[in-house]
Structure 1
Amino acid sequence: MINHPVSRRQLMTIGTAGAVGLGLAGCSTGAPTSSTGSRAETVLPSYKPQQPATGAGAVSSEVDDLPQIYTRNPTRYWSSVEAPPGDGGQVTTFQMLWFAPPAAVGKNPYWQQLNKNLNVDYRPTLASSDTYNDKLATVLAGGNVPDLAFIQDQVAVGAQAIQQGAFADLTDVLAGDKILKYPNLANLPTYGWQNSAKNGRIFGIPHVNPAVSSSATIRTDLMRAAGYREQPTSADEMLALFTDLSKIKKFGGKQVWPIGGLGTYQIQRFVSWMQGVGPSWREDGGKLINQLETDEFASTIDYLIKLWKAGCFHPDALALGSDSQRSKEKQMWTEGRFAFELDSPPWLAQQGMQQVEDGTQGAIVDFLQPAPADGVEVVVERDAGYWGIVGISAKAAEDDRKLDRLLGICNYFAAPYGTTESLFLGSGIEGYNFRFGADKKIIDLDNSQAETNLQGLHWLGASSPSTITLDGVNARRKDNLLADLEMLTKASKTDPTVGLYSDAQTRSSAKLDQLNEDWRNKIVTGRAPMTAIAQWRQEWRRAGGDQVRQEFQDAMQKGH
């Protein structure tokens, strides 16, 4: 039994104070431990991977923490849950609604089947992503915590709810081999548990993300037209490649540019890898240093200046590099206008690269690996590894049997690709949502209401590890994709502030992001000298950067 009751007065405090800045922000067993900075030691759940999807052409790797790559559809689906976890009783949830609301249970075959598969009376409260944390604060203030709730623990309402005891400490029932009772939870990568732990304790099931969330690509046909047969092996060679690509101007009847937008999370991120910048924060002698304050960051800006002077960017690069025009820049790349693009590896390998090749005759797109600058190693900012957790109500966890049932439900939702549970959660009901085609290809039945019913209910927040499934057309990319992910993952480093909460970060992140974008654009385009980076740093510190630093440092020292 886990008994950490929380009073209604505490919940009301969460609901009011938490309403400030509620933006959405290898095989081994045993009990690994870790410590990050001055955080308390965490006794982590054992890791025991589930079997790969049957007949799906799994691609193996010796590098840990990669998403599993598949090259075919599963030939057979297996069950990862021996029996429905529920007892027929009611289970309440608070979860995110990404699309339109589903139909009521009486008119919803998917909901009815979900109840049957779980053996529960599933009662979700659904909230859209843009108002999610506001509504969660209201629910918590009402004093009735749902049995299961998705919590963004780096947002005020989530962080305070955990700190004040609204959700159960699950460490004693999940640490070490105890998690093996829930094999799909044991299949979650260790970094998800490690990064989401608070003061050495586990307060929820992590919604795991890949360790590396971005990859770069290059138009190999344009590279060859510029006289290159191999990808660059140094940052200087990369600059020469982009410079020579800028001289092509027109190719295949289309006007082309090496790079589209001057984007923070596109070309700037790629250059920062080559310059060894690393995570947003690094720890040095007990003090946090922001990447803006490093020599490597200054080298990144200097490199972008060189690209700008060489004419490597589209004329509207500043606009195309902004968040508001990201979709336009992406569309222009798929239309064959740009040689370089950086995006998520699954989207690139499953769709984006093929869209470029289909839309431009003779186009060849490959993953582009970053090449190191002189005297440095490539460093990639490792993803946080998780995006929120599914917490279990402290009150519900007082009952050992109910706690076991709720963990069993999370275990169901975390079923891996290739299982009957994952097929149901991802594709729905055969004959209602989809049918099988040749080679077990899943074909949508174009039933809009059936799709709405599926999308409205299947996302609790607990999820399986990431996979990348390449169809018959894109299976040829597997070796190129694997080599890129292996290189980036091995070069990745974790930010020491992962899993920590800073109220100043929540309140000032948009302002600081805009300040950084404005200063970068001025310096890169020559409207301010490179020496102005000193003023940029001063303004960043005064605008909230120093306060964010202090709050993160305080959190690290407290071990939260």
Structure 2
Amino acid sequence: MNPLDGVRADRRRFLELAGLGALTIAGSGLLAACGDAKTSSGPGTTDKNQLAKILPAYVPSTAALTPDIPSAPGANGFFSTPVYLKYPASPVATVTGVPGKGGSYTTMTPLWGSIPSSKGNTYYDTVNAALGADLKMQPADGVNYDKILPPLFAGSKLPDWLMIPSWNMGNLGFADAVNKFADLGPYLSGDAIKAYPNLAAIPTGAWQSCIWNGKLFGLPTYYSAASAGGAIFYRADIFRQLGIDANSIKTPADLEGIAKQLTDPKAGRWAFGDIFDYTAHIFHFPGDPYRWTVDASGKVVNRYEMPEYLEALNWFAKQAKAGYVHPDALAGKKEEGKQRFWSGKEVITGDGTGGWAGSDAESGKAANPSYEKQAFKLLAADGKPAMPMNPASSMYSFLNGKLSADQIKEVLSIANYLAAPYGSTEWLTVNFGKEGVDYTMTGGNPKLTEKGSKEVATTYQFLVTPVTPVPVTPGYEQVAKDYAAWEADMVKHAVKPAFYGMNITEPAQYANLNQPMVDVSIDVRYGRKPISAFTDALQTWKSSGGEELRKFYEDVKNKYGTGQ
């Protein structure tokens, strides 16, 4: 759910990688946050009573707007995201005065795409002037972020303000590494957060995910209290051309039934890209980040042990062997997947729901004027649609533990500005820079200028993010309406997976356990290896630490439940 639905490729790439959807949740139970097994308290170092003392108070923003498309209620307390088709003509100010006191702070955030120059960057200069501080923005290559972070920790060369996605924490021994950051509890827990109204408007579930080892270390970024685990998209214009009714597609067998009709190698068209990772909700096995679940007998099991996972592997391998999957997808060329879909070489693809935006439609129509992207309503192998929700937040920023109390207070005041809600003057500045230079108001919504498209990058937003609605791009309002309609239907089937909302850090010795299973799964589903290669690898996985990791999760379950 990226509020910056502009034209920069890094934004589109971020959405694709993050698989972000956009949902809000009504209330949030206090669930256990868990630490590394090697910590003194063992797994589950933050119990419910501790959480109640650590979590910041929740105070909704008084700058709320009336949406054009309101949230729709769904299952298990979830609601769909509202849509505002036009930005307010007279935005409100939510911050009085300048938040900073002239301090200078180094930052580092990931960026998926070209990194803009900081020299003469009007966007950076405009935001820093509004903040009253010099945030030295140092975005780093998001693709290789997992390789960039470890040396910073090992050499104690951490910046003042650092963003870390959860998927880059595995090789950091994070339950120990997190102690290098400042404990924000004394400044934000309970009513203390009311000194920062925009931070107080961030839902409780997002703050809960920022707790490790009994302390509030993180600031949540790009949270949504919950989000869908991606969707299966199709080219609606091609479906119409071939006379295929998308509403008739309800199962993977139905998908296979139209694959031959969609595939025409002579015309350069194949039915599928690599949609495997987005079939988790179809076959009902846990997708990332929840690899563990609890079976009907109450036993904790990994997705690789589930017959549903094998069923999905076999189904996709069958499509690959039949020639229905684009050859470049089978060659692992993921970077070009968007372009193949835009040009119609792949008719069905998988993507994060945050990628369903005006920028996508803009790029698609550049490749093919008739381009129209839609998502299937939830499919299910067993005829029972269900969409497991992702955690409230899976990305966080942290303040260096070497900062003084006065510096932390200044940075939190800056964070309060950055967390200003959609519809405010501050939100426009943070997300688009200077009007008339970086952006113009077009059709009632902000749109980057040519200069802005080169200089404005997703950077400040990775330090802390407010609650945001479905993004709207001028000229592509229908895309937002389509997304909202799909999500309103999807959320009716929303479920909480096992360990939902529980911040579990696996012991560092198991950091490399998952990758061999990922690799063999790719080989099997691409048809390069038989299913027996997977079952053999599974036995190795169990003996190499899988069974021990199961005991870790069983311990968490027995002490703190599963968060459902």
TM superposition score category, shorter chain reference: 0.7 to 0.9
CA distance in 1, matches of 2:143, 2:73: 40
Question: Which of 37, 41, 58 is the aligned partner of 1:47?
Answer: 58
CA distance in 2, matches of 1:74, 1:192: 27
Indicate if the aligned counterparts of 2:82 and 2:484 stay in contact, CA closer than 8 A.
no
Shift of 1:320: 0.7
Indicate if the aligned counterparts of 1:512 and 1:544 stay in contact, CA closer than 8 A.
no
Letter in 1 for 2:396: I
Residue matched to 1:296: 308
CA distance in 2, matches of 1:35, 1:122: 34
CA distance in 2, matches of 1:102, 1:234: 48
Question: Which of 465, 468, 485 is the aligned partner of 2:467?
Answer: 465
- Paired residue secondary structure (2:451): coil
Shift of 1:419: 2.2
Residue matched to 1:18: none
Residue matched to 2:129: 116
Shift of 1:463: 2.0
Does residue 148 of structure 1 match 2:149?
no
Cα offsets for 1:96-140 (capped at 9, x unmatched): 566446445xx5555544443222344566654466566655555
Letter in 1 for 2:535: A
User: CA 1:228–1:129 in structure 2 vs 1: closer, same or farther (change >3 Å)?
Assistant: closer
CA distance in 2, matches of 1:418, 1:46: 23
Cα offsets for 1:223-246 (capped at 9, x unmatched): 4566554613642xx523542341
User: CA 1:162–1:49 in structure 2 vs 1: closer, same or farther (change >3 Å)?
Assistant: farther
Does residue 34 of structure 1 match 2:31?
yes
User: CA 1:356–1:544 in structure 2 vs 1: closer, same or farther (change >3 Å)?
Assistant: farther
Who wins on radius of gyration, i.e. which is larger? 1
CA distance in 1, matches of 2:408, 2:181: 12
CA distance in 2, matches of 1:196, 1:113: 29
Question: Which of 455, 458, 463 is the aligned partner of 2:457?
Answer: 455
CA distance in 2, matches of 1:486, 1:148: 36
Residue matched to 2:350: 342
Letter in 1 for 2:324: F
Does residue 390 of structure 1 match 2:392?
no
Letter in 2 for 1:215: A
User: CA 1:199–1:126 in structure 2 vs 1: closer, same or farther (change >3 Å)?
Assistant: same
User: CA 1:517–1:241 in structure 2 vs 1: closer, same or farther (change >3 Å)?
Assistant: closer
Residue matched to 2:325: 314
Letter in 2 for 1:491: A
Indicate if the aligned counterparts of 2:439 and 2:446 stay in contact, CA closer than 8 A.
no
- Paired residue secondary structure (1:421): helix
Unaligned runs of at least 5 residues, structure 2 = 1-17, 19-23, 35-42
Cα offsets for 1:300-342 (capped at 9, x unmatched): 2343355456x461362xx4145x4113333222112333122
- Paired residue secondary structure (2:385): coil
Does residue 80 of structure 1 match 2:94?
yes
CA distance in 2, matches of 1:47, 1:204: 16
CA distance in 2, matches of 1:115, 1:109: 10
Does residue 186 of structure 1 match 2:194?
no
Residue matched to 1:326: 334
CA distance in 1, matches of 2:111, 2:337: 28
Residue matched to 1:218: 234
Shift of 1:283: 3.6
User: CA 1:555–1:94 in structure 2 vs 1: closer, same or farther (change >3 Å)?
Assistant: farther
- Paired residue secondary structure (1:455): coil
In the TM superposition, 1:418-497 aligns within 5 A as: 418-446=423-451, 451-452=454-455, 454-455=456-457, 458=460, 461-489=463-491, 490-494=493-497, 496=499
CA distance in 1, matches of 2:333, 2:556: 36
Does residue 378 of structure 1 match 2:393?
no
CA distance in 1, matches of 2:324, 2:269: 10
Question: Which of 407, 412, 419 is the aligned partner of 1:407?
Answer: 412
User: CA 1:219–1:27 in structure 2 vs 1: closer, same or farther (change >3 Å)?
Assistant: closer
Task: Answer with 437-446 or 411-420: which moved more.
Answer: 437-446
Residue matched to 2:539: 538
Residue matched to 1:13: none
User: CA 1:52–1:245 in structure 2 vs 1: closer, same or farther (change >3 Å)?
Assistant: farther
Question: Which of 519, 526, 530 is the aligned partner of 1:521?
Answer: 526
Unaligned runs of at least 5 residues, structure 1 = 1-23
CA distance in 2, matches of 1:221, 1:126: 38
% identical aligned pairs:
21
Residue matched to 2:8: none
CA distance in 2, matches of 1:361, 1:277: 37
User: CA 1:298–1:379 in structure 2 vs 1: closer, same or farther (change >3 Å)?
Assistant: farther
User: CA 1:186–1:488 in structure 2 vs 1: closer, same or farther (change >3 Å)?
Assistant: farther
- Paired residue secondary structure (1:424): helix
CA distance in 1, matches of 2:240, 2:318: 22
What is the TM-score of this pair, normalised by structure 1?
Answer: 0.76
Indicate if the aligned counterparts of 1:28 and 1:46 stay in contact, CA closer than 8 A.
no
Shift of 1:462: 1.5
Cα offsets for 1:211-264 (capped at 9, x unmatched): 1252222234554566554613642xx52354234135559x9453322x3x2x
Question: Which of 259, 267, 271 is the aligned partner of 1:258?
Answer: 271
CA distance in 2, matches of 1:133, 1:367: 31
In the TM superposition, 1:169-208 aligns within 5 A as: 169-208=183-222
Shift of 1:444: 0.7
User: CA 1:45–1:502 in structure 2 vs 1: closer, same or farther (change >3 Å)?
Assistant: same
User: CA 1:430–1:348 in structure 2 vs 1: closer, same or farther (change >3 Å)?
Assistant: same
CA distance in 2, matches of 1:302, 1:220: 27
CA distance in 2, matches of 1:364, 1:127: 33
In the TM superposition, 1:232-251 aligns within 5 A as: 232=248, 234-235=250-251, 238-247=252-261, 249=263
CA distance in 2, matches of 1:81, 1:155: 37
- Paired residue secondary structure (1:188): coil
Residue matched to 1:507: 512
Residue matched to 2:39: none
Indicate if the aligned counterparts of 1:434 and 1:443 stay in contact, CA closer than 8 A.
yes
Shift of 1:456: 8.7
User: CA 1:539–1:138 in structure 2 vs 1: closer, same or farther (change >3 Å)?
Assistant: closer
CA distance in 2, matches of 1:129, 1:303: 32
In the TM superposition, 1:120-135 aligns within 5 A as: 120-123=133-136, 127-129=140-142
User: CA 1:495–1:201 in structure 2 vs 1: closer, same or farther (change >3 Å)?
Assistant: farther
Does residue 62 of structure 1 match 2:58?
no
User: CA 1:291–1:416 in structure 2 vs 1: closer, same or farther (change >3 Å)?
Assistant: same
Residue matched to 1:4: none
Residue matched to 1:273: 281
What is the TM-score of this pair, normalised by structure 2?
Answer: 0.75
- Paired residue secondary structure (2:413): helix
Over aligned residues, Cα RMSD in angstroms?
A: 4.0
User: CA 1:552–1:124 in structure 2 vs 1: closer, same or farther (change >3 Å)?
Assistant: farther
CA distance in 2, matches of 1:94, 1:147: 8
Letter in 2 for 1:463: T
